[in-house]
C-alpha cells in the first residue's frame, strides 16, 4: 500500500500486512511527522507477491514516483508502534498531585524530627517518633528497642519546656543539665515524681544516666558554686529545704532538673521521662 507523509509529502510503500485493522500511528523518517494510517479497503481482483515480498495489486500499475521509498515499514516490522494514549482525566491528575503532596509533607516532617533530635530539642515529639517502626536508628535510638514500658505511676505525665545545657562547676568541671517541667494529667495530686535522664552517644550507647525528684532546681550561680555531691543530694530528695514534700496538683506543672557529670568529650543526645510517682493521700478530716 502507498503511504504519503502528511507533513512533507514523501511517499512510501508499506506492507499492508503490518497494519492492524484498527490502524496504527507512524513516524516519517524524513521530517519526523507523526500521523495515523489505516489499511486500504479490499479491491476486486487478486493479490500477488512481488520479487521483494511486498504485496501489491496485480491489476494496478506500480507507482513511478521517484520519491517513493521501497518497502518502508515505519518500524512496524520491529513492533515499534507509536501508540495513541487516551488523555489523562481530571481525577487521575488530582490523585497524582495529592499523593505527591502527602509524600512531600511526610518527608518534610521526618526531616524536621531528625533535626530536632540532632539539636536536642522537641524531646516529646522525638520520643514519639522513635517508637515508630524503622525510625529509631535514624533518630539515634537503639534499633529494635520498640516502645519503652511505662512504669506504674508514670502513665499520666508529660514533659514540657525540656532543654539541656552545659555548665562549669568550680569543683567538678563540666556538668550536663537537663531542665524542664512535669505536667500531671492524673485526676488527683501526685508526689514523689521521679524523672530519669539518659545520655547516649552517636551510636545510641548509654554513656550517662541519673534520676531526680521533680521540684528541686538550682540557679546558674548554685550550679557553679555548690559541690556536685550537694547538688545531687538535694535533687535526689522528694522534699524541699523546708521539709515539705514536692506535690504537683492535677493539671499543674512542677519543674525538674537532672545533673550529670564525668561525660565523654563528644556530641551527646539526651532523653528524659517520668519513671514513677505516688498519689497524695488525703488526710482524714477530724471531727
**266 in the same domain as 170:** yes
What SS3 class is residue 196?
strand
What is the distance between the alpha carbons of residues 275 and 154, in angstroms, rounded to a whole number? 5
Q: How far apart are CA 36 and CA 231, in angstroms?
A: 87
Alpha carbon 42 to chain centroid, angstroms: 62
Same domain as 6, residue 48: yes
Domain span including residue 24: 1-85
Cell reading at 210 = 541519673
CB 176 within 8 A of CB 166: yes
- Residue that finishes a domain, picked among 59, 85, 111: 85
| 66 assigned to some structural domain | yes
Judge whether 286 lies within some domain.
no
101 and 166 share a domain? no
Does residue 287 fall inside a structural domain? no
Task: Note whether 139 and 188 are same-domain residues.
Answer: no
The SS3 call for residue 254 is strand
Residue 176, domain CATH:
2.70.50
Torsion sign over Cα 48, 49, 55, 56: negative
At 153 the pLDDT is: 54
**DSSP-assigned beta bridge partners for residue 239:** 245
Please give the average pLDDT of every successive group of 10 residues along the chain, which has 287 residues: 80 77 79 80 50 42 46 52 54 86 88 72 67 70 51 74 91 92 91 92 88 93 92 92 91 94 85 89 56
Q: What's residue 63's pLDDT?
A: 45
Whole-model pTM: value is 0.50
In the DSSP assignment, the letter for residue 282 is P
Name the domain count of the chain.
Answer: 3
Contacts of 115 (CB under 8 A, 6+ apart): none
- 145 and 155: one domain? no
**pLDDT number for residue 189:** 92
Distance CA 187, CA 192 (A): 16
**Nearest Cα residue to 258 out of 215, 212, 219:** 212
Q: Are residues 90 and 79 in the same domain?
A: no
**284 within some domain:** no
Same domain as 218, residue 168:
yes
What CA–CA distance (Å, rounded) separates 40 from 173?
95
Residues 271 and 167 in one domain: yes
What radius of gyration, in Å, describes the C-alpha atoms of the chain?
40
Cell of 106: 511526610
Question: From residue 106, how far is each of 102, 174, 176 by CA, in Å?
Answer: 6, 39, 33
In a domain, 285, yes or no: no
Q: Considering 30, 56, 85, which residue would you say is the last residue of a domain?
A: 85
CB atoms within 10 A of CB 56: 19
The angle that helices 123-130 and 90-119 make with each other, rounded to 10 degrees, is 120
Does residue 157 share a domain with residue 141?
no
**Do 274 and 159 reside in the same domain of the chain?**
yes
Are 274 and 186 in the same domain? yes
Q: Are 77 and 8 in contact (CB under 8 A)?
A: no
Within this chain, do residues 169 and 261 fall inside the same structural domain, yes or no?
yes
pLDDT for the residue numbered 224: 93
Amino acid at each position: 500500500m502507498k503511504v504519503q507523509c502528511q507533513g512533507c509529502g514523501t511517499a512510501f510503500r508499506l506492507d499492508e500486512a503490518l497494519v492492524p485493522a484498527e490502524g496504527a500511528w507512524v513516524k516519517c523518517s524524513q521530517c519526523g511527522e507523526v500521523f495515523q494510517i489505516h489499511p486500504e479497503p479490499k479491491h476486486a481482483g487478486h493479490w500477488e507477491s512481488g520479487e521483494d515480498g511486498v504485496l501489491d495489486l496485480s491489476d494496478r500499475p506500480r507507482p513511478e514516483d521517484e520519491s517513493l521509498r521501497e518497502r518502508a515499514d515505519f518500524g512496524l516490522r520491529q513492533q515499534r508502534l507509536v501508540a495513541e494514549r487516551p488523555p489523562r482525566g481530571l481525577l487521575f491528575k488530582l490523585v497524582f498531585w495529592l499523593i505527591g503532596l502527602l509524600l512531600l509533607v511526610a518527608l518534610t516532617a521526618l526531616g524536621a524530627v531528625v533535626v530536632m533530635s540532632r539539636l536536642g530539642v522537641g524531646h516529646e515529639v522525638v520520643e514519639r517518633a522513635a517508637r515508630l517502626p524503622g525510625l529509631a536508628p535514624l533518630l539515634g535510638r537503639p534499633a529494635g528497642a520498640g516502645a519503652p514500658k511505662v512504669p506504674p505511676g508514670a502513665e499520666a505525665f508529660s514533659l514540657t519546656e525540656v532543654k539541656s545545657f552545659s555548665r562549669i562547676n568550680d569543683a567538678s568541671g563540666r556538668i550536663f543539665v537537663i531542665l524542664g517541667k512535669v505536667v500531671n494529667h492524673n485526676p488527683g495530686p501526685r508526689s514523689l515524681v521521679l524523672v530519669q535522664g539518659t545520655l547516649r552517644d552517636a551510636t545510641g550507647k548509654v554513656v550517662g544516666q541519673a534520676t531526680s525528684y521533680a521540684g528541686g532546681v538550682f540557679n546558674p550561680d548554685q550550679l557553679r558554686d555548690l559541690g556536685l555531691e550537694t547538688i545531687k543530694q538535694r535533687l535526689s530528695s522528694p522534699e524541699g529545704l523546708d521539709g515539705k514534700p514536692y506535690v504537683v496538683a492535677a493539671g499543674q506543672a512542677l519543674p525538674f532538673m537532672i545533673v550529670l557529670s564525668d561525660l565523654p568529650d563528644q556530641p551527646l543526645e539526651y532523653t528524659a521521662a517520668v519513671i514513677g510517682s505516688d498519689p497524695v493521700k488525703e488526710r482524714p478530716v477530724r471531727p
